[in-house]
Amino acid sequence: MSDAKQALPTYYNSSYRHGVDEKRRVQIPAKWRPAEEGTELTVIYWPKHAAGVCLRVLPPAEMAKMKASIDALPNNDPNKSVLKRVIGSKSVQVALDKTGRICLPEEMARAADIKEEALLVGLLDRFEIWNPARYENVEATDELLAPKAFELME
């Protein structure tokens, strides 16, 4: 591959429903896989949604941005240590296997209620992994909020 081709960003768009095998492996869509072999993705336990926990997956550049934004908080802000501790302890780096799958850690899969099926949802610069039934509630809420959210766009 040329350097120009490798420099193009990956966009995580669309959604994909995949089975989860007995070892908690889930297929990552070919378009979403890192271009560089051996690149690890960071999976974070993400409790910030009213519908429940999902798993947020960040490529290296987005993980670096998240870390930088936390590092930019004032040292006397107690949230800085909390964020570092929680994200540091509730995240894991995963590599894709030869067939393009990642293995979800047991504790994370259990917290997100991901068992036999997973729904991978693109967020443009990262993606989330949801229990498909739980995501139905998210999607319904998003549909209600979308008209107001689109007002932010030019």
pLDDT tens per residue, range 125-135: 999 999 999 99
The predicted structure's pLDDT at residue 47: 85
The dihedral sign for the CA sequence 30, 93, 109, 101: positive
Contact 99, 27 (CB under 8 A): yes
Which CATH architecture best describes the domain 19-150? 3-Layer(aba) Sandwich (3.40)
End-to-end CA distance of the chain: 35
Q: What is the DSSP letter of 30?
A: G
| pLDDT band, very low/low/confident/very high, at 1 (cuts 50, 70, 90) | very low
Q: Which of 61, 34, 46, 63 is nearest to 130 (CA)?
A: 46
In the chain, pLDDT over 70 holds for what percent of residues? 95
Q: What is the pTM of this model?
A: 0.89
The C-alpha angle with vertex 95 and arms to 81 and 65, in degrees rounded to 5, equals: 40
| pLDDT band, very low/low/confident/very high, at 6 (cuts 50, 70, 90) | low
Torsion of the alpha carbons at 60, 66, 69 and 75, rounded to the nearest 10: -110
pLDDT at 43 over 70: yes
Tokens of 149: 């959210």
pLDDT (mean) for 8-31: 95
The predicted structure's pLDDT at residue 7: 60
Q: What is the pLDDT of residues 65-122, one digit of tens each?
A: 999 999 999 999 999 999 999 999 999 999 999 999 999 999 999 999 999 999 999 9
pLDDT at 5 over 60: no
Residue located via tokens 């941005």: 65
